Amino acid sequence: REQPEETPQPAPRRIFQERQNITGLPLYFQGYLSVRHSRHQEFRMYWTELRGTMLFFYDDKKAPIYSQKLDISALTSATNVHPDENGSAQFILMLSNGELELKASDCEHGKEWKGFILTVTKLSVPPDESLLPGQLRRMHEVLEKEKKRRITLNDCSSASLDRKSPPSSTSTTMPVCFYAVSRQEAIEMLEKNPSCGNLILRPGRDNKNYAITIRHELEAPCLKHYKVMSKGTSYVIELERQVTLPSLQGVVNYFVTQTRGKLKPYVIQTC
């Protein structure tokens, strides 16, 4: 396989916007990485984005939807491996569920990847004397953005708990099939990747409530959308006869059980 260009170039603006909508996280760093999980024998190359404390792996630089993702918030260490015969920089991420070996096309790019990953997970810029002033400045900028993001996230979580009292009456964890996408983007996701599932939970048009988008394979593909209204500590599905449930996960489970499993939550495979 040919070596990718050494200097990472941003994806086209349209692709960037689609990824931003799907992930709902700020982009901190991007570029090609070869990835090898502890369970696998060979490296596989991905266009990779660091967003928040998540690594998103794309099969193609212009693919709007990631093929795998990895939460690195539980990172315990990042260890350098000596460059291989091609001069590629390698380092190993030690996570609570195993290790991940990453390889960048050159040492400079590898140092940046490791530096940004440590910055967002440890909330401090690593004291690496080999980093250039420009690289350190960008890492400090990312550190401030990530700190602000987490403060905002915590504030929103606290406000949500205050509104939904008692906390035990509702789940604060979003279902795995929730994506911060529009109606049209949800349709495209279901059409392009039917093997991932056929039910997506997404924000409503008013950004205060929610909606369910499903794609049935009957005689012909059938798309439907259902409003899910937030009322107090409950969620109401707008059907001919309203259904009230205590959580968004309960909403998803309702559609699955009522169709006897014909509807499956849309979940993209992860590492």
User: ∠ at Cα 42 (48, 12), nearest 5°?
Assistant: 20
Higher-pLDDT residue of 103, 96:
103
> How many alpha carbons fall within 13 Å on the CB side of residue 77?
3
Are residues 175 and 248 in contact, defined by beta-carbon separation less than 8 angstroms? yes
The lowest-confidence range among 3-17, 62-76, 228-242 is 3-17
| Rg (the chain; Cα; Å) | 21
Q: For each of the domains in the chain, give its residue range(s) and CATH number, in order of start.
A: 13-157 (2.30.29.30), 183-259 (3.30.505.10)
Give pLDDT tens digits for 25-34. Answer: 899 999 999 9
Q: What pLDDT band is residue 105 in, cutting at 50, 70 and 90? A: confident
Token digits of residue 116: 């940004």
Q: How far apart are the first and last CA of the chain?
A: 22
**Taking the model in full, what pTM does it have?**
0.58
Average pLDDT over residues 70-84: 81
Q: Which amino acid is present at 271?
A: C
Average pLDDT over residues 222-229: 93
Q: What residue has token string 């390698």?
A: 90
DSSP string spanning 134-165?
HHHHHHHHHHHHHHHHHHHHHHHHHHHHHHS-
Dist. CA 74–CA 157, nearest whole Å? 20
Cα dist. 135→53, 119, 139, 216, 269 in Å? 19, 12, 6, 49, 33
Q: State mean pLDDT over 228-256.
A: 91
Question: Nearest Cα to 54, choosing from 67, 71, 66, 68?
Answer: 71
Q: Which of 19-33, 152-166, 188-202, 229-243 has the lowest mean pLDDT?
A: 152-166
- Name which of 65, 141, 54, 129 is nearest 93 in CA terms: 54
What percentage of residues in the chain have a pLDDT greater than 90?
35
- If one counts every other C-beta atom within 10 angstroms of the C-beta of residue 258, the result is 12
Question: Is the pLDDT assigned to residue 254 strictly greater than 60?
Answer: yes
